[in-house]
């Protein structure tokens, strides 16, 4: 272990010491992005948090398919074409030839992309006996929460650039899963090399992919430096370095944007957006987000296992005031899990009204006439679905105090916060979900299905057989009207059980200096820097 | 002279030993497993060695002995949060802190001491009152507020200077000594010139923030010392003898005032370091202060232990060095009691 | 008994003389008045606040101070990001920051003076190298001590006070020890001793009157350090916690909206600045007054 750490350190030092020769244009065209937190690894298979996704998915890797941000439809990625069999059970893919992996200080590839790499990338999460399955945790939250593993029977090589995937039962959303940020293609050759060296865990921290950038240096809580991948198969808009300046404080990010120390920043707060609108050196893009911010109750714990208590809590808070105070006018009030832009949305979903008197009655009915005390975990980082969880928590504390419930607000560093949630230590939590693809299943399944508990996405710890059945049925058909009816049933069940209170769907914003071009808000996933470049007029700061 | 040197040498080593002992004991006071706090790893993760064995058997005195050895070897353990080697970490961080402290001190000395002399010589006149009032105002600023004000005005309103870090991240300067100007100078980076300018621009705000307060203190200290010297009988005696004032100044006033200032500067080292640490966190200067404060936010006890040891050792060393120098230059001072 | 002898009408008490010197300086008097205003605000402030310091009002978020265009007279100094009234919070903040500083200085003073007197009156203790080593250890920066205390005991205003108090004790020990030592060597002590006065008697009647002035000067110095450190620790989130309206904490909270509502950073910081300035002026003037009294 000690030796391993030492090797790790040496390689970090080696990486730091190595610089590539640069031309005059490259340093000027470098992009600095002020990100909000440190990624836990450089593999989005292992972590659905947008921090990890932004730092890896579209920068270091490619997927078989991509989603067109404009239409939401899948388009070719590493796979140049694909076909689905008539019974909806067999998918066949053709890979592009001559796609090169990154050459880095820690790995030199000897071959281009082939089916082995795809099979490795899939087997890692589908096959529990795969040597890499349990490396770095062995949890694949996105795939686990959807239980995709169960549905894939076989991945078979046809020739070195062609393969097929067989499913157990039809899945209307399967193709979108392959295009999400998490379905990245890793290098099988690199994995084998690491296995021989006895250091498989390096695969997620010293990544090798096919994406527009490769990792040059990462210093936790400080910055990530990427250099361009010179043999990138697709177009990349600029040839300078890409830097993530990790700046957890939102106000500091804005300040750095104003002084030109960042070209773009993550998660500007609403007040900051209003401020930025008045400046002519900073540009703003916005779009409706595929996300939901909610207040989830730990339904595995007393007294939150009692639906009466949950209803009481739901009627004790005034959602309208909370939304006004936290999101200002940059969000839509939620009725259910999915935003109004989704085809599965229905306006008829019932909602619990704000009624403190009723809340007290319900509490009395449940046997808590004198109230109780509870913890409220507030998301410690800014997320698009909740720009200020602490403020929201303080408001909720105020409302609950009026019905005799004492609230202790809990918040801690992001990694330990999530670890605590995974262990189910919370009574309730203010958190949310940004969808990874446009399919409603991507909201309903991870957030409230029984499988979501294991994968750490179901923070309500809610497990209801009836709900799971409805969600399952909705996948078996491709008929939109049928699916919509099923999701409406799920909405009714959520409104009755209240495992969580959906609060708002926030708009998504991108704020950047106006010399940065090619900024596109991708509602279906993380940042893509390969498409951005700086206009020539303004140089590096 | 050798005696003084020897005594200070001894004093430094005894203090150092106490600090090392303290850092060892702290591992037991910090929450969690002492072994984890000492090494950043649990017993199972540690490689087998005599040290590990002593830790496992809870033979703490023996373990302390090995702990001292491991400190001397440069194996300081790893951070419990980032897993990075603490020795490597600190050898990149400490130079940055020393750099900032040194620049700020130099600026403060260059401004504060001459002004202090001037005020002292003109004491109880208008210029003296003006400077004394200004320095009183300056020394009342909370450092964090001052630093924020400078950033708000100079960086954000006027847009003249960058507000964070010590070099734009676009420049990838290889680590050589940890002192950024030197590192840029010896590197063969194609943008050396630009990088150097960029580093200087980054340096101005943090240096000024720290120097602002230090200047006020140096000015007041020097002025007081000069006034005290002027009131001495030998100055009056020299004046009655008709010796020109500049001669008295060079021969008596300057020397004696400076000697009186020196030990007072030693007292300022700890304030200076506190200020540097705060400014580092505000301006994201990649030094040991910012690192230590991050470590406490993340409860990285292994890092706090070693960071505390290193910073206090440096502070004690500098304090003793200044005291020792002032004793060496000024034999009239009361000897080591 | 001994001081009765000098307590004649022609000779004002040391205090009287010092005060006479002190009030000759306008700056000193101004500082003294401002400091008294702060003391008054610290005690009575919470009674005069127009709003509760914790009362959030989402109808009035980030209002500008009243003299600006979009400010209202209802919130004279504006409001913060959750609509809390700045003036009320500052009034409470003075109580918290100033009150905590005064308390911790008093604590450090009592301990420091006791230790210093013991060290000064007992010759055995003072010569040891141990003494010097302790001095050296006390050169460790306050922030470092605070970090260690926070690591052991956790964050909180009382822990921050403990850390700063610990760092301040040696100042009082030094000052007391030096004065006591000088006085002990004087002839009148020897005389008193020959008269058969006890240690306690000597301390109370001979040394204490001489000591008090020095201690008060030390205390003003320590107070300005304590205010700066308490607020710095609050600002760094190592001292008072978010809910407490401590001035340093308020600066930190104001930071998140510093570019939109700079007054949220300006006013609490300005308040700390004025507080420290008035303490510094009083301390400095007191020192000059004592010096002048002694030289006259």
Closest residue in B to A16 (Cα) is B174
Give me the interface pTM, i.e. the ipTM. 0.87
Please determine, for residue A13, whether its predicted confidence score (pLDDT) is greater than 70: no
Mutation target vs C (from A248, A254, A329; most C CBs, 10 A cutoff) = A254
For residues C245 and A200, the model is more confident at A200
- Confidence at A14, pLDDT banded by 50, 70, 90: very low
Could you give the dihedral angle defined by the CA atoms of residues B61, B65, B66 and B71, in that order, rounded to the nearest 10 degrees?
A: 130
Residue A448 contacts residue A404 (beta carbons within 8 Å)? no
Cβ <8 Å between A255 and B168: no
- Rounded distance, CA A516 to CA A533, Å? 6
Q: How many CB pairs under 8 A join A and C?
A: 34
Question: How close, in Å, is residue A392 to chain C by CA atoms?
Answer: 10
Residue A20 contacts residue A209 (beta carbons within 8 Å)? no
DSSP C217-275: HHHHHHHHHHHHHHHHHHHTTSSS-TTS--HHHHHHHHHTTTTT-THHHHHHHHHHHHH
Name the DSSP class of C5.
G
Share of chain A above pLDDT 70, in %: 93
Residue A2 burial (10 A CB sphere; 0-12, 13-18, 19+): middle
- pLDDT tens per residue across span C130-188: 667 767 767 788 888 888 888 888 888 888 899 999 888 888 888 888 888 787 777 77
Residue A19 burial (10 A CB sphere; 0-12, 13-18, 19+): middle
Cβ <8 Å between A251 and C82: no
Which superfamily does A1-40+212-287+509-541 belong to?
A: Periplasmic binding protein-like II (3.40.190.10)
> Chains that contact B by 3+ CB pairs under 8 Å?
A, C
Q: Any chain B CB within 8 A of the CB of A21? A: yes
* Cβ within 8 Å of B, A 402-421: 413
Cβ <8 Å between B18 and C137: yes
CATH topology of domain A291-506: Dipeptide-binding Protein; domain 3 (3.10.105)
> Chains that contact A by 3+ CB pairs under 8 Å?
B, C
Please determine, for residue B297, whether its predicted confidence score (pLDDT) is greater than 70: yes
Q: ∠ at Cα C102 (C100, C104), nearest 5°?
A: 65
- pLDDT tens per residue across span C224-256: 999 999 999 999 888 877 678 888 888 888 887
For residues B164 and C69, the model is more confident at B164
Cβ <8 Å between C259 and A258: yes
Residues 6+ apart with CB under 8 A from A224: A35, A39, A55, A215, A217, A218, A243, A244, A246
Among residues C97, C221, C245, the alpha carbon closest in space to that of C167 is found at C221
Amino acid B250: pLDDT: 79
Please determine, for residue B278, whether its predicted confidence score (pLDDT) is greater than 90: yes
**CATH-assigned architecture of domain A61-210:** Alpha-Beta Complex (3.90)
Question: What region does A222 belong to: left with phi over 0, alpha with psi -120 to 50, or beta?
Answer: alpha
Q: Which residues of A touch C256 (CB under 8 A)?
A: 249-251, 269
Closest residue in B to C268 (Cα) is B145
- Confidence at C109, pLDDT banded by 50, 70, 90: very high
Bridge-partner residues for C98, per DSSP? none
Amino acid B332: pLDDT: 65
Closest residue in C to B124 (Cα) is C288
* Mean pLDDT in residue range B254-282: 87
Q: Any chain B CB within 8 A of the CB of C140? A: yes
DSSP B128-192: HHHHHHHHHHHHTS-HHHHHHHHIIIIIIIS--S--SSSS-TTS-PPPSSS-HHHHHHHS--TTH
- Confidence at C6, pLDDT banded by 50, 70, 90: low
Cβ <8 Å between A395 and C259: no
Q: Any chain B CB within 8 A of the CB of C284? A: yes
Residues 6+ apart with CB under 8 A from C124: none
* Cβ within 8 Å of B, C 251-280: 251, 255, 258-259, 262, 265, 269, 272-273, 276-277, 280
Q: Which residues of A touch B74 (CB under 8 A)?
A: none
Q: Which residues of A touch B159 (CB under 8 A)?
A: 258-260
Question: How close, in Å, is residue A284 to chain B by CA atoms?
Answer: 19
Amino acid A7: pLDDT: 44
- Confidence at A281, pLDDT banded by 50, 70, 90: confident
Of A331-345, A398-412, C75-89, the least confident: C75-89
Share of chain B above pLDDT 70, in %: 98
Cβ <8 Å between B156 and A259: yes
Question: How close, in Å, is residue C56 to chain B by CA atoms?
Answer: 25
Question: How close, in Å, is residue C59 to chain A by CA atoms?
Answer: 9
Q: Any chain C CB within 8 A of the CB of A329? A: no
Q: Which two tokens stand for residue A456?
A: 């750490």
Share of chain C above pLDDT 70, in %: 86
Of A293-307, A447-461, C5-19, C271-285, the least confident: C5-19
Judged by DSSP in three states, C127 sits in coil
Among residues A168, A221, A21, the alpha carbon closest in space to that of A472 is found at A168
Share of chain B above pLDDT 90, in %: 26
The closest CB to that of B274, out of C141, C238, C251, belongs to C141
Question: How close, in Å, is residue A275 to chain C by CA atoms?
Answer: 7
* Mean pLDDT in residue range C280-290: 86
Amino acid C9: pLDDT: 55
- pLDDT tens per residue across span C190-209: 787 777 777 777 777 777 77
Cβ <8 Å between A274 and C58: no
- pLDDT tens per residue across span A88-99: 889 999 999 999
Q: How many CA atoms lie within 13 A of A465 on its CB side?
A: 0
Bridge-partner residues for A66, per DSSP? A75
Cβ <8 Å between B175 and A241: no
Question: How close, in Å, is residue C144 to chain A by CA atoms?
Answer: 21
Q: Which residues of B touch C126 (CB under 8 A)?
A: 337
* Mean pLDDT in residue range C7-11: 56
Question: How close, in Å, is residue A24 to chain B by CA atoms?
Answer: 8
The domain spans of chain A are: 1-40+212-287+509-541, 61-210, 291-506
- pLDDT tens per residue across span A488-541: 999 999 999 999 999 999 888 888 988 888 887 777 777 888 888 887 644 433
Cβ <8 Å between A12 and B84: yes
* Mean pLDDT in residue range A103-115: 92
Cβ <8 Å between A261 and B168: yes
Mutation target vs A (from C55, C58, C80, C249; most A CBs, 10 A cutoff) = C58
**Average per-residue pLDDT for chain C:** 80
Please determine, for residue A121, whether its predicted confidence score (pLDDT) is greater than 90: yes
Bridge-partner residues for A516, per DSSP? A534
**Average per-residue pLDDT for chain B:** 86
Among residues A449, A445, A444, A465, the alpha carbon closest in space to that of A349 is found at A444
Neighbours of B103 (CB within 10 A): 18
Task: Evaluate whether the domain defined by B92-297 bears CATH number 1.10.3720.10.
Answer: yes
Closest residue in A to C260 (Cα) is A275
Question: How close, in Å, is residue C145 to chain A by CA atoms?
Answer: 23
Amino acid B177: pLDDT: 83
**Average per-residue pLDDT for chain A:** 85
Please determine, for residue C296, whether its predicted confidence score (pLDDT) is greater than 80: no
Q: Which two tokens stand for residue B56?
A: 């496992």
Amino acid A62: pLDDT: 92
Cβ <8 Å between C133 and B269: no
- pLDDT tens per residue across span A524-537: 777 888 888 887 64
Q: Which residues of A touch C259 (CB under 8 A)?
A: 251, 254-255, 258, 272, 275
Closest residue in C to B318 (Cα) is C139
Closest residue in B to A220 (Cα) is B82
Residues 6+ apart with CB under 8 A from B59: none
For residues A123 and B263, the model is more confident at A123
- pLDDT tens per residue across span B102-138: 999 999 999 999 999 888 888 777 888 888 889 999 9
Name the DSSP class of B73.
H
Amino acid A208: pLDDT: 94
Q: Which residues of B touch C251 (CB under 8 A)?
A: 142, 144-145, 148
Name the DSSP class of C205.
I
The full set of domains in chain C, from first to last, is: 19-292 (1.10.3720.10)
Q: Which residues of B touch A37 (CB under 8 A)?
A: none
Closest residue in C to A325 (Cα) is C58
- Confidence at A383, pLDDT banded by 50, 70, 90: confident
Q: Which residues of A touch C252 (CB under 8 A)?
A: none
Amino acid A171: pLDDT: 82
The closest CB to that of C272, out of B31, B145, B293, belongs to B145
Q: Which two tokens stand for residue C54?
A: 């914790």
Please determine, for residue A66, whether its predicted confidence score (pLDDT) is greater than 80: yes
For residues A7 and A41, the model is more confident at A41
Residue B194 contacts residue B128 (beta carbons within 8 Å)? no
Q: Which residues of C touch B293 (CB under 8 A)?
A: 147, 236, 238
Amino acid A4: pLDDT: 43
């Amino acid at each position: 272990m000690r030796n391993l750490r030492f090797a790790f350190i040496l390689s970090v030092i080696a990486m730091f010491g190595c610089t590539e020769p640069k031309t005059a244009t490259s340093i000027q065209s470098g992009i600095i992005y002020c990100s909000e937190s440190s990624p836990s690894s450089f593999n989005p298979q292992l972590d659905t948090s947008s921090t990890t996704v932004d730092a890896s998915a579209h920068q270091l890797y490619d997927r078989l398919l991509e989603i067109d941000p404009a239409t939401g439809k899948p388009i070719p990625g590493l796979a140049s074409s694909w076909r689905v069999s008539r019974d909806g059970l067999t998918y066949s893919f053709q890979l592009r030839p001559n796609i090169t992996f990154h050459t880095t200080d820690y790995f030199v590839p000897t071959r281009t992309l082939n089916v082995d790499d795809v099979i490795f990338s899939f087997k890692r999460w589908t096959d529990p006996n795969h040597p890499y399955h349990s490396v770095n945790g062995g949890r694949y939250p996105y795939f686990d929460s959807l239980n995709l593993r169960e549905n894939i029977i076989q991945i078979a090589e046809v020739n070195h650039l062609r393969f097929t995937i067989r499913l157990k039962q039809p899945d209307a959303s399967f193709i979108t899963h392959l295009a999400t940020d998490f379905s990245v293609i890793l290098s099988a050759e690199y994995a084998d090399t690491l296995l021989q060296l006895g250091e498989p865990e390096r695969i997620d921290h010293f990544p090798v992919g096919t994406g527009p950038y490769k990792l040059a240096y990462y210093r936790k809580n400080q910055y990530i430096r990427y250099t361009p991948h010179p043999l990138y198969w697709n177009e990349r808009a600029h040839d300078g370095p890409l830097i993530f300046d990790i700046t957890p404080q939102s106000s500091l990010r804005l300040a750095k944007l104003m002084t030109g120390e960042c070209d773009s920043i993550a998660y500007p707060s609403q007040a900051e957006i209003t401020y930025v609108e008045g400046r002519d050196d900073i540009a703003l893009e916005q779009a409706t987000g595929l996300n939901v911010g909610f207040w989830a109750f730990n339904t595995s714990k007393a007294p939150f296992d009692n639906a009466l208590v949950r209803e009481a809590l739901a009627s004790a808070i005034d959602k309208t005031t909370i939304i006004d105070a936290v999101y200002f006018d940059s969000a839509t009030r939620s009725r259910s899990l999915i935003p109004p832009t989704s085809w599965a949305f229905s306006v008829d979903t019932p909602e619990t009204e704000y009624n403190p008197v009723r809340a007290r009655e319900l509490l009395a009915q449940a046997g808590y006439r004198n109230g109780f005390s509870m913890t409220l975990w507030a998301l410690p980082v800014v997320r698009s679905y909740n720009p200020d969880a602490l403020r929201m928590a303080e408001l909720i504390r105020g409302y609950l105090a009026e019905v005799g419930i004492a609230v202790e607000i809990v918040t801690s560093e992001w990694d330990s916060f999530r670890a605590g949630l995974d262990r189910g230590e919370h009574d309730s939590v203010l958190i949310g979900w940004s969808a990874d693809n446009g399919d409603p299943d991507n909201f309903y399944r991870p957030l409230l299905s029984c499988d979501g508990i294991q994968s750490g996405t179901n923070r309500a710890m809610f497990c209801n057989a009836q709900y799971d059945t409805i969600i399952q049925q909705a996948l078996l058909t491709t008929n939109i009207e049928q699916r919509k009816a099923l999701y409406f049933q799920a909405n009714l069940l959520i409104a009755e059980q209240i495992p969580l209170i959906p609060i708002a769907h926030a708009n998504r914003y991108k704020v950047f200096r106006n010399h940065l071009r090619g900024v596109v808000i991708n509602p279906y996933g993380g940042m893509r820097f390969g498409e951005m470049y700086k206009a020539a007029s303004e140089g590096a700061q | 002279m050798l005696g003084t040197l020897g005594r200070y040498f001894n004093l430094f080593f005894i203090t150092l030993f106490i600090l090392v002992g303290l850092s060892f004991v702290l591992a037991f006071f910090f929450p969690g497993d002492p072994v984890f706090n000492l090494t950043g790893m649990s017993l199972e993760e540690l490689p087998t060695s005599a040290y590990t064995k002593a830790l496992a058997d809870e033979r703490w005195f023996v373990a302390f002995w090995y702990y001292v050895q491991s400190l001397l070897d440069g194996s300081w353990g790893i951070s419990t949060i980032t897993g990075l080697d603490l020795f490597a970490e600190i050898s990149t961080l400490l130079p940055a802190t020393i750099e900032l402290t040194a620049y700020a001190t130099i600026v403060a000395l260059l401004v504060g001491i001459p002004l202090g002399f001037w005020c002292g010589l003109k004491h109880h006149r208008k210029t003296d009152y003006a400077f004394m009032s200004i320095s009183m105002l300056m020394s009342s600023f909370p450092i964090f507020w001052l630093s924020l004000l400078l950033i708000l005005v100079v960086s954000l309103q006027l847009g003249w200077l960058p507000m964070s870090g010590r070099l734009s991240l676009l420049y990838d300067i290889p680590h050589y000594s940890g002192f950024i100007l030197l590192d840029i100078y010896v590197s063969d980076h194609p943008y050396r010139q630009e990088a150097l300018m960029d580093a200087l621009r980054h340096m101005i705000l943090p240096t000024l923030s720290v120097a602002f307060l230090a200047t006020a203190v140096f000015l007041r200290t020097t002025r007081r010392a000069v006034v005290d010297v002027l009131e001495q009988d030998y100055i009056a005696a020299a004046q009655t003898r008709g010796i020109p004032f500049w001669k008295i100044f060079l021969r008596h006033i300057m020397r004696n005032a400076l000697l009186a200032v020196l030990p007072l500067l030693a007292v300022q080292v700890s304030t200076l370091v506190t200020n540097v640490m705060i400014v580092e966190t505000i301006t994201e200067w990649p030094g040991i202060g910012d690192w230590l404060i991050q470590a406490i936010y993340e409860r990285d006890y292994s890092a706090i232990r070693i960071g505390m040891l290193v910073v206090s050792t440096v502070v004690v060393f500098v304090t003793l060095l200044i005291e020792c120098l002032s004793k060496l230059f000024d034999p009239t001072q009361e000897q080591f009691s | 008994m001994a001081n009765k002898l000098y307590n004649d009408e022609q000779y004002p008490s040391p205090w009287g003389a010092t005060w006479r010197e002190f009030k000759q300086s306008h700056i000193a008097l101004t500082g003294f008045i401002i400091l008294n205003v702060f003391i008054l605000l610290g005690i009575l402030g919470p009674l005069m606040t127009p709003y509760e310091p914790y009362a959030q009002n989402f109808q009035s978020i980030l209002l500008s101070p009243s003299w600006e265009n979009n400010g209202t007279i209802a919130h004279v100094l504006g409001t913060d990001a959750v609509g809390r009234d700045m003036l009320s919070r500052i009034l409470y903040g003075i109580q918290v920051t100033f009150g905590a500083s005064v308390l911790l200085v008093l604590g450090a003073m009592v301990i420091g003076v006791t230790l210093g007197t013991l060290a000064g009156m007992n010759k055995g203790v003072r010569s040891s190298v141990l003494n010097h080593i302790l001095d050296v250890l006390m050169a460790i920066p306050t922030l470092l001590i605070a970090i260690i205390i926070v690591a052991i005991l956790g964050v909180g205003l009382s822990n921050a006070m403990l850390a700063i108090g610990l760092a301040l004790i040696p100042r009082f020990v030094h000052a007391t020890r030096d004065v006591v030592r000088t006085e002990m060597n004087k002839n009148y002590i020897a005389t008193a001793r020959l008269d058969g006065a006890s240690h306690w008697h000597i301390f109370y009647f001979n040394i204490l009157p001489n000591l008090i002035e020095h201690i008060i000067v030390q205390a003003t110095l320590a107070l300005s350090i304590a205010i700066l450190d308490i607020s710095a620790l609050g600002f760094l989130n190592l001292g008072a916690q978010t809910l407490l309206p401590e001035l340093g904490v308020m600066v930190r909270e104001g930071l998140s909206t510093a570019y939109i509502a700079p007054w949220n950073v300006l006013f609490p910081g300005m308040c700390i600045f004025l507080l420290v300035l008035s303490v510094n002026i009083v301390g400095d003037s007191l020192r000059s007054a004592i010096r002048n009294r002694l030289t006259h």
